[in-house]
Amino acid sequence: MAGYAGLDITVQGSHLYGEILYPDGSYDQPRPCVIFFHGFPGTGRNDDLLFSLRRAGCVCVNVHHRGAWGSEGKYLVSNCVEDAVTIARYARRWWPKKYHIDPEKIFLAGHSMGGNTCVNAARKCPWLKGIILLAPFNSALASPANLKFMKALMQEGLIMHTDGAEVMLRDIYDHAEEYAYQSAVHDLKDMNICCVTGKSDPLIHYETDVRPLFDGLKKEGSQALLMHKSVPGTHGLDSSRIAMIRYVASFIEKLCA
């Protein structure tokens, strides 16, 4: 029967919590695994995507980063990337037998800041089948003018632990060149990528945030599957959830058929 298990993995001495959703036994082949990373901690969730992908036969992992949703430690962009690399490697080594996962069909998925997490974690995990970016935030485009915006976000992120907006922004600035999407082109040359953006998103714009990555990959001669869909809606893609889910599912199906 379909069900779920608790996630508890230690990264740098801090416990990360979450859920592992697995499909029922009607899927007799080793299953794709989708590991999902949330954006800036607040109220946004993407459980509908994970439940839908589970119904399609995927094992879905919902990760709560350090300092968010009860996980230990402090929330930082660099910590998110380290969390993702650790969990991806753990999933590939330890979960295939327990959850009937195909270790060659592991995907990272993320919304907003979680997209930035996926891009930069995938650079260190070239064996991934692909990454899924939902309204991905390019942290390298942050500027000192974002301090007021970050402080406002922290008022919404009551479920996270940080050392303040200044520390979080300093972490972003310290990794700006490293985390720039354009810097990832060489490492992601063979990575399959699916991206969904909102046409009315006031924060993320495909042309400035994501297209330079796709254009760079094509210039490098990438033979990977690169998919992008622009849907009605703002940053949460709330007006097009079904369209978004179908598009993501089609990406996984193309690579796992």
Q: Could you give the CA distance from residue 90 to residue 93 in angstroms, rounded to a whole number?
A: 5
Q: Which two tokens mark 233?
A: 């809606």
Residue 93 in contact with residue 219, Cβ under 8 Å?
Answer: no
Q: What is the tens place of the pLDDT at every residue in 25-77?
A: 887 789 999 999 998 776 668 999 999 999 999 999 999 999 998 899 999 99
Q: Count of domains in the chain?
A: 1
Q: What is the tens place of the pLDDT at every residue in 185-198?
A: 999 999 999 999 99
**What is the per-residue pLDDT for 195?**
98
Chain centroid to Cα 157, Å, comes to: 18
What's this model's pTM, rounded to 2 decimal places? 0.94
Range of the domain at 251: 3-256
Give the dihedral sign, CA 164/167/173/174: negative
CATH (domain of 33) = 3.40.50.1820
Give the CA distances from residue 62 to residues 3, 95, 201, 251, in Å, rounded to whole numbers and listed in that order: 14, 14, 24, 19
Q: What is the tens place of the pLDDT at every residue in 202-230?
A: 888 899 889 999 999 999 999 999 999 99
Nearest to 27 by CA among 82, 102, 125, 134: 102
